[in-house]
């Protein structure tokens, strides 16, 4: 039975290691790997992620020798294996045999092999080949003692258009709508003469001359997401049948990929795992780590999860056309951030930097410079340190890893909807709105969960909705019930303006929330980018504003005379409505950082939610993790000054008792076992 078997992940120690590609290296290098893995206390290797052509060089002709040997060798060395199915990269022979299974871009260009992810998830030949290689691997390695986790595929995310997808899309639509009449009505195809008289005319979103139909765009994204879920589900079924003791995962690329609905994908697997790469080599990168970790923990239902990939240093910043370097000490601080927020391991892409190949200048645990390097020394020191901290990843006896009273609503549908064309402003985008809220809360010292709009909202005291354009009647009712029962709800501008089909709710924008918010939004007033508004309370906002009338709510802050001429100075900008036993707040504009922070602090204080980390303003991240029957206080000093925090217990990194105050050097990390019952004051 795998150590992760059963309903809850149980890890014996902090998983530490990375993607390992023994098929690329000579015997001499493999021998050195054994030695270096021991030095760095590597205990986990992810094997086989893109190895299809090495495993099956010709159709149906397998070559398992290298993998047999690798698994045996790793096992003998005490390294557990996360074994991947290689389905993210079919070999060249697959293209030769199944040209129709290649992905087609929206402009009709059919792609070919030569990179990775060249397959159409809707193509029967691809699906059949993926099932077959999964079955072959599960049969052969499903009970190998080294294998502790199935890593199914890699970063699902392929989207394809073209004739093969058209067929699958039509089937999906037929199931959803039943009749063409229903589809025509829901998509309002009378607009621009798009009325369909035959299912064969419905296309999987090819490039169009001008704006496409937004409801079609949203449905295509939902369809593509369901397709990827089906691909995952069929691999899960196969390995559960042939390898029932080994749990399953697939690595989500967070937080920038939205090709599927993470809530739905998480339902299919046993262990949530994520890949995470910093978006900023400056201080903002730390908030990004917390953001990805809070998402991962939430997708895992509050339970432990696995960091499948982070980088040791250089990684592409695709927007800027260059690679970013991690400063000394950052790998360690980031790793403790992930661990504090629920990760039971920290793996890296990749163990050894390749000599050539598409990502040849990407960083690794063993860089091109070899083991005599800053990066390897940092990694080895970290591995040795983590080897002494097994207790921090013990699964909590009473459920959730972190306590959070505040939740932010995260929805694939809302993200896709906000990205459909013809929105009134680029500033209604989903991800920036959600990140702004999370960042403000991180800076205020609040630990935050994410929830689906379909989740049980009652697990949190405060639910924040930064951006949620499509809202169904059922969801609308559940938000109102949450407030009536005593919850605090905050809704961001533009949310709830359509139903789930992206059909505008008439009679005032934000219709899905209008009742609970006690407001009537008569007009949207997008602003030119860079416009700054000063509200009556001095807070600054911009980008977006609205003509709001009160229908029972009270005004918290109003627009002033710098508002757009259609908004009368003094009219409501920020409101609060008592509803049942709770309160519903509305922001009809987008605040700058200070404004958002001030308003969120006010609302959370009003809801009685005190920040868990009172040292946040000093650049200290303090997060409490439940482990076994104990709690561990992680104190991560991101600042360039030593910082003092209040703590009582036993500090694990230095092995010292803490009886009131803990001094943490600039850039350093401490972990305090707090639970007196577990012997807080003793090693
Ligand atoms: C992803 C992939 C890896 C690698 C890294 C590079 O996360 O899973 O194979 O390409 O990105 O940063």
- Give the DSSP H/E element, type plus range, for residue 216: helix 214-242
Quote the distance between the C-alpha of residue 18 and its chain's center: 19
Index of the ligand 1 atom closest to the CA of residue 315: 12
Percent pLDDT > 90 in the chain is: 92
Q: How far, in Å, CA of 459 to CA of 442, rounded?
A: 20
* Span 494-501, average pLDDT: 97
Q: How far, in Å, CA of 492 to CA of 541, rounded?
A: 13
Confidence of residue 280 (pLDDT cuts 50, 70, 90): confident
Taking CA atoms only, the protein residue closest to ligand 1 atom 12 is 315
Evaluate if residue 680 carries a pLDDT over 50.
no
pLDDT of residue 682: 47
What is 15-159+243-393's CATH number?
Answer: 3.20.20.80
Index of the ligand 1 atom closest to the CA of residue 49: 9
* Span 580-585, average pLDDT: 98
Evaluate if residue 683 carries a pLDDT over 90.
no
Q: What class, spelled out in words, does domain 406-606 have in CATH? A: alpha beta
Which of 459, 428, 466, 449 has its CA nearest to residue 599?
A: 466
pLDDT of residue 676: 57
Average pLDDT, the chain: 95
Residue-wise pLDDT for 281-317, tens only, equals 888 899 999 999 999 999 999 999 999 999 999 887 7
For residue 349 and ligand 1, the question of a CB distance below 6 A is answered with yes
Q: Is 612 a catalytic residue?
A: no
Q: Are 153 and 259 in contact (CB under 8 A)?
A: no
The angle, 0 to 180 degrees and rounded to 10, between the axes of the packed helices 330-340 and 374-387 is 30
- Pocket test residue of 309, 317, 364 for ligand 1, highest count of atoms within 8 A of CB: 309
Residue-wise pLDDT for 21-75, tens only, equals 999 999 999 999 999 999 999 999 999 999 999 999 999 999 999 999 999 999 9
Backbone angles phi, psi at 374, to 5 degrees: -55, -45
User: Which residue out of 56, 268, 286, 309 is catalytically annotated?
Assistant: 309
pLDDT of residue 622: 98
Both structure tokens of 257: 């990929």
pLDDT of residue 10: 59
3-class SS of residue 81: strand
Q: Are 115 and 182 in contact (CB under 8 A)?
A: no
* Span 395-406, average pLDDT: 90
Residue-wise pLDDT for 346-377, tens only, equals 999 999 999 999 999 999 999 999 999 999 99
The secondary structure of residue 61, as a DSSP letter, is: B
pLDDT of residue 321: 79
Instruction: Count Cα neighbours of 249 within 13 Å in the Cβ-side half-sphere.
Output: 29
3-class SS of residue 670: strand
pLDDT of residue 2: 59
On whether 154 is known to bind a ligand per the annotation, the reply is yes
- Pocket test residue of 155, 255, 274, 312 for ligand 1, highest count of atoms within 8 A of CB: 155
For residue 359 and ligand 1, the question of a CB distance below 6 A is answered with yes
Q: Are 662 and 636 in contact (CB under 8 A)?
A: no
Q: Are 494 and 510 in contact (CB under 8 A)?
A: yes
Which of 660, 657, 663 has its CA nearest to residue 682?
A: 657
pLDDT of residue 678: 47
Where along the chain do its domains lie? Answer: 15-159+243-393, 406-606, 617-678
Per-residue HEC secondary structure of 4-23 comes to CCCCCCCCCCCEEEEEECHH
Q: How close is the Cα of 349 to the center of ligand 1, in Å?
A: 7
Backbone angles phi, psi at 364, to 5 degrees: -155, 170
Evaluate if residue 345 carries a pLDDT over 80.
yes
Confidence of residue 112 (pLDDT cuts 50, 70, 90): very high
Q: Are 488 and 582 in contact (CB under 8 A)?
A: yes
Count CB neighbours of 616 within 10 A: 18
Sign of CA dihedral 545, 549, 551, 555: positive
Q: How close is the Cα of 149 to the center of ligand 1, in Å?
A: 19
pLDDT of residue 342: 97
Taking CA atoms only, the protein residue closest to ligand 1 atom 4 is 349
For residue 277 and ligand 1, the question of a CB distance below 6 A is answered with yes
* Span 440-463, average pLDDT: 97
Please state, in angstroms and as integers, the Cα–Cα distance from residue 58 to each residue in 24, 43, 54, 92, 614, following that order. Answer: 18, 33, 9, 9, 60
Q: How far, in Å, CA of 156 to CA of 316, rounded?
A: 19
Count CB neighbours of 273 within 10 A: 25
Taking CA atoms only, the protein residue closest to ligand 1 atom 3 is 349
Evaluate if residue 495 carries a pLDDT over 80.
yes
Q: How far, in Å, CA of 60 to CA of 301, rounded?
A: 40
Q: Which fold has domain 617-678?
A: Immunoglobulin-like (2.60.40)
* Span 318-337, average pLDDT: 89
Q: How far, in Å, CA of 306 to CA of 297, rounded?
A: 9
Please state, in angstroms and as integers, the Cα–Cα distance from residue 457 to each residue in 274, 449, 515, 605, 664, following that order. Answer: 24, 11, 18, 19, 37
pLDDT of residue 4: 66
Q: Is 651 a catalytic residue?
A: no
Q: Are 501 and 215 in contact (CB under 8 A)?
A: yes
Q: How close is the Cα of 485 to the center of ligand 1, in Å?
A: 45
For residue 303 and ligand 1, the question of a CB distance below 6 A is answered with no
317 strand-pairing partners = 322
Taking CA atoms only, the protein residue closest to ligand 1 atom 10 is 359
Count CB neighbours of 283 within 10 A: 10
pLDDT of residue 5: 55
Q: Is 650 exposed, middle or buried (0-12, 13-18, 19+ CB in 10 A)?
A: buried
Confidence of residue 681 (pLDDT cuts 50, 70, 90): very low
Q: Is 317 exposed, middle or buried (0-12, 13-18, 19+ CB in 10 A)?
A: middle
Sign of CA dihedral 413, 414, 419, 420: positive
Q: How close is the Cα of 669 to the center of ligand 1, in Å?
A: 27
pLDDT of residue 94: 98
| DSSP one-letter string for 639-658 | SSS-EEEEEEEEETTTTEEE
Please state, in angstroms and as integers, the Cα–Cα distance from residue 259 to each residue in 218, 229, 552, following that order. Answer: 12, 10, 40
Q: How close is the Cα of 401 to the center of ligand 1, in Å?
A: 27
Q: How close is the Cα of 162 to the center of ligand 1, in Å?
A: 27
For residue 117 and ligand 1, the question of a CB distance below 6 A is answered with no
Angle at Cα 459 formed by Cα 453 and Cα 460, nearest 5°? 80
Q: How far, in Å, CA of 94 to CA of 128, rounded?
A: 11
Count CB neighbours of 538 within 10 A: 11
For residue 626 and ligand 1, the question of a CB distance below 6 A is answered with no
The radius of gyration computed from the CA coordinates of the chain, to the nearest angstrom, equals 26
For residue 317 and ligand 1, the question of a CB distance below 6 A is answered with no
Q: How far, in Å, CA of 220 to CA of 184, rounded?
A: 15
Q: How close is the Cα of 275 to the center of ligand 1, in Å?
A: 8
* Span 504-533, average pLDDT: 96
């Amino acid at each position: 039975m795998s150590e992760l078997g059963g309903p809850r992940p149980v890890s014996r120690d902090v998983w530490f290691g990375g993607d390992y590609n023994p098929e690329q290296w000579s015997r001499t290098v493999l021998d050195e790997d054994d030695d270096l893995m021991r030095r760095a206390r590597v205990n986990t290797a992810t094997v086989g992620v893109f190895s299809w052509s090495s495993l099956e060089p010709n159709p149906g002709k397998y070559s398992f020798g290298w993998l047999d040997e690798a698994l045996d060798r790793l096992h003998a060395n005490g390294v557990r294996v996360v074994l991947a199915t290689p389905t993210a990269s079919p070999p060249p022979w697959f293209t030769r045999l199944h040209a129709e299974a290649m992905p087609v871009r929206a402009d009709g260009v059919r792609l070919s092999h030569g990179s990775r992810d060249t397959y159409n998830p809707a193509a029967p030949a691809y699906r059949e080949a993926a099932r077959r290689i999964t079955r072959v691997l599960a049969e052969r390695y499903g009970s190998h003692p080294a294998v502790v986790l199935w890593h199914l595929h890699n970063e699902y995310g392929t989207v394809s258009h073209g004739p093969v997808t058209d067929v699958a899309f039509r089937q999906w639509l037929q199931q959803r709508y039943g009749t063409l009449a229903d589809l025509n009505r829901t998509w309002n195809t009378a607009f621009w003469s798009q009325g369909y008289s035959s299912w064969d005319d419905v296309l999987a979103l090819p490039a169009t001359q001008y704006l496409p139909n937004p409801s079609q765009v949203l449905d295509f994204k939902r369809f593509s997401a369901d397709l990827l879920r089906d691909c995952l589900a069929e691999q899960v079924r196969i390995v559960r049948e042939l390898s029932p003791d080994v749990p399953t995962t697939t690595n989500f690329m967070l937080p920038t990929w939205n090709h599927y609905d993470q809530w739905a994908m998480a339902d299919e697997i046993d262990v949530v795992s994520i890949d995470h790469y910093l978006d900023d080599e400056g201080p903002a990168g730390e908030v990004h780590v917390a953001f990805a970790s809070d998402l991962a923990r939430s997708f895992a239902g509050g339970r432990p999860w696995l960091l499948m990939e982070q980088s040791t240093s250089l990684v592409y910043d695709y927007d800027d056309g260059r690679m970013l370097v991690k400063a000394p000490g950052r790998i360690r601080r980031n790793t403790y951030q992930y661990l504090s927020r629920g990760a039971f391991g920290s793996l890296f892409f990749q163990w050894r930097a390749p000599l050539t190949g598409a990502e040849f200048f990407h960083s690794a645990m063993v860089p091109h410079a070899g083991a005599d390097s800053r990066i390897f020394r940092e990694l080895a020191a970290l591995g040795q340190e983590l080897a002494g901290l097994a207790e921090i990843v013990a699964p909590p006896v009473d459920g959730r890893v972190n306590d959070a009273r505040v939740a932010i609503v995260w929805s694939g549908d809302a993200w896709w909807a906000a990205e459909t064309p013809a929105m009134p402003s680029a500033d209604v985008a989903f991800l920036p709105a959600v990140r702004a809220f999370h960042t403000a809360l991180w800076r205020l010292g609040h630990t935050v969960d994410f929830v689906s709009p379909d989740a049980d909202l009652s697990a949190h005291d405060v639910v924040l909705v930064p951006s949620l354009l499509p809202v169904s009647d059922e969801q609308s009712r559940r938000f109102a019930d949450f407030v009536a029962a005593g919850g605090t709800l905050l809704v961001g501008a533009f949310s709830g303006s359509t139903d789930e089909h992206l059909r505008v709710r008439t009679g005032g924008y934000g219709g899905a929330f209008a009742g609970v918010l006690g407001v009537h939004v008569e007009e949207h007033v997008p602003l030119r980018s860079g416009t700054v508004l000063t509200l009556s309370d001095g807070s600054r906002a911009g980008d977006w504003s609205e003509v709001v009338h009160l229908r029972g709510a009270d005004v918290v802050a109003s627009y002033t005379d710098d508002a757009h001429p259609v908004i009368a100075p003094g009219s409501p900008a920020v409101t609060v409505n008592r509803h049942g036993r709770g309160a519903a707040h509305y922001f009809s504009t987008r605040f700058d950082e200070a404004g958002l922070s001030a308003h969120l602090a006010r609302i959370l204080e009003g809801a009685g939610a005190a920040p868990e980390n009172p040292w946040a303003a000093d650049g200290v991240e303090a997060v409490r993790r439940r482990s076994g029957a104990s709690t561990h206080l992680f104190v991560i000093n991101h600042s360039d000054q030593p910082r003092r925090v209040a703590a009582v217990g036993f500090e694990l990194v230095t092995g010292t008792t803490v009886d009131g105050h803990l001094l943490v050097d600039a850039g350093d990390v401490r972990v305090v076992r707090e639970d007196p019952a577990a012997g807080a004051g003793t090693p």
